[in-house]
């Protein structure tokens, strides 16, 4: 049995109706199939579309690496100071304290090598940063050093060191350049010369070091150096053949052979500001660098009595 009804003056029965519906569905399907594919974004009027460009620069992230041992008071001042200073410049950064926790003499360069390796994943450049040197002049920009290392604490402005190849204190370098020079030498146990050796690595690699522009302050007012030389004594001892070896350029050691163990990783806050502390035990090859521990002069003289 078929029912029928009237539509726009035509009498239509149910089987005709089914045929018409199928026909219309087919025509609509064909029409939709030939339309170009549109994203939701394109469907919006042009003025309302989000402006996504492949050229939007993602800000580079800085790892502030602080080689450290027994400088807690300085750290308490350093962390709030650096947050305040770098936030003003809108630099994305994290602070890493690389604490030497073995009983060898302090090795600033090896600690920086370790800090570099530990921050490989999330950071584009590092600041090799003394804990006792606080930048005061806002024109000392900690921007990404795309074209070569930037020596923040230049010899013209450092409170203590003024020779023109000096690159100690605070140096910015991008990961690729640090890798290019194989990092720093691991031979420097005790105070001094590791930064001068690093300068030769940079020069040999054909990189040039630049300094912050527009600095009108001088050696007295560009940095605060929180360092009392009687309270924080520099370990200037030279033992075994340390003097001869460390005067020469080291073509062997660097990030690829720094020997260490991570003894702990802690997230601390100072005035609610976070930082990461890595406790690092450096290992010393006594055949290669016996001066990682100098003989105790008192013991040596009592043994001969």
For ligand UDP, the nearest residue by Cβ is 130
Residues 214-253 interacting with Mn ion (rule: CB under 5 A): 227
Sign of the CA dihedral with 19 first, then 20, 22, and 26 last = positive
**180/276 with CB nearer ligand UDP:** 276
By CB under 5 A, is residue 195 in contact with Mn ion?
A: no
Other Cβ atoms less than 10 A from the Cβ of 250: the count is: 20
Q: Smallest distance, Å, CB 133 to ligand UDP? A: 6
Q: Which is nearer to ligand UDP, 37 or 107 (CB)?
A: 107
Q: How near is the Cβ of 112 to ligand UDP at its closest, in Å?
A: 10
Task: State the residues that interact with ligand UDP by CB under 6 A.
Answer: 66-71, 106, 108, 130-132, 168, 191, 227, 234
Using CB distances below 5 to 8 A depending on partner kind, what does residue 104 bind out of ligand UDP, Mn ion, none? Answer: none
Q: Quick count: other Cβ atoms within 10 Å of Cβ 236?
A: 8
Q: Does 132 bind Mn ion (CB under 5 A)?
A: yes
Q: Least distance from C-beta 184 to ligand UDP, angstroms?
A: 13
Q: Which does 195 bind (CB under 5 to 8 A by kind): Mn ion, ligand UDP, none?
A: none
- Find the shortest distance in angstroms from Cβ 81 to ligand UDP: 13
* Shortest distance in whole angstroms from residue 130 CB to ligand UDP: 3
Q: Which residue is nearest to Mn ion (CB)?
A: 227
Residue 62 pairs with which residues in a beta bridge? 93, 125
Rounded to whole angstroms, the Cα distance separating 121 from 53 reads 25
Q: Of 74 and 250, which CB lies nearer to Mn ion in the complex structure?
A: 74
Which one, of 127, 153, 143, lies nearest residue 91 by Cα?
A: 143
In the bound complex, what is the minimum distance in angstroms from residue 177's beta carbon to ligand UDP?
Answer: 21
Interface positions with Mn ion (CB under 5 A): 132, 227
């Amino acid at each position: 049995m078929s029912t029928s009804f009237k539509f726009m003056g035509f009498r239509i029965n149910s089987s005709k109706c089914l045929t018409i519906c199928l026909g219309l569905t087919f025509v609509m399907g064909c029409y939709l199939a030939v339309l170009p594919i549109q994203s939701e974004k394109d469907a919006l009027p042009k003025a309302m579309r989000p402006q996504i460009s492949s050229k939007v620069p993602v800000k580079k992230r800085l790892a502030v690496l602080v080689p450290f041992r027994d400088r807690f008071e300085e750290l308490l001042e350093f962390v709030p100071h650096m947050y305040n200073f770098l936030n003003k410049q809108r630099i994305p950064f994290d602070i890493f304290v690389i604490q030497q926790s073995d009983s060898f003499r302090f090795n600033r360069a090896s600690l920086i090598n370790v800090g570099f390796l530990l921050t490989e994943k999330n950071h584009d450049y590092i600041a090799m940063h003394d804990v006792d040197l606080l930048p005061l002049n806002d024109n000392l920009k900690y921007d990404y050093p795309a074209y070569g290392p930037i020596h923040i604490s230049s010899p013209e402005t450092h409170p203590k060191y003024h020779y023109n190849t000096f690159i100690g204190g605070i140096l910015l370098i991008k990961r690729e350049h640090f890798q290019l020079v194989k990092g720093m030498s691991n031979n420097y146990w005790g105070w001094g010369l590791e930064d001068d050796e690093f300068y030769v690595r940079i020069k040999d690699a054909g990189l040039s070091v630049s300094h912050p522009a527009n600095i009108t302050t001088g050696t007295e007012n560009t940095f605060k150096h929180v360092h009392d030389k009687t309270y924080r004594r520099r370990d200037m001892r030279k033992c075994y053949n340390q003097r001869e070896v460390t005067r020469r350029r080291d073509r062997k050691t660097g990030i690829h052979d720094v020997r260490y163990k991570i003894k702990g990783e802690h997230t601390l806050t100072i005035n609610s500001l976070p930082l990461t502390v890595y406790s690092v035990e450096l290992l010393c090859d006594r055949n290669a660098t016996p001066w990682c521990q100098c003989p105790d002069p008192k013991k040596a003289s009592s043994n001969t009595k």
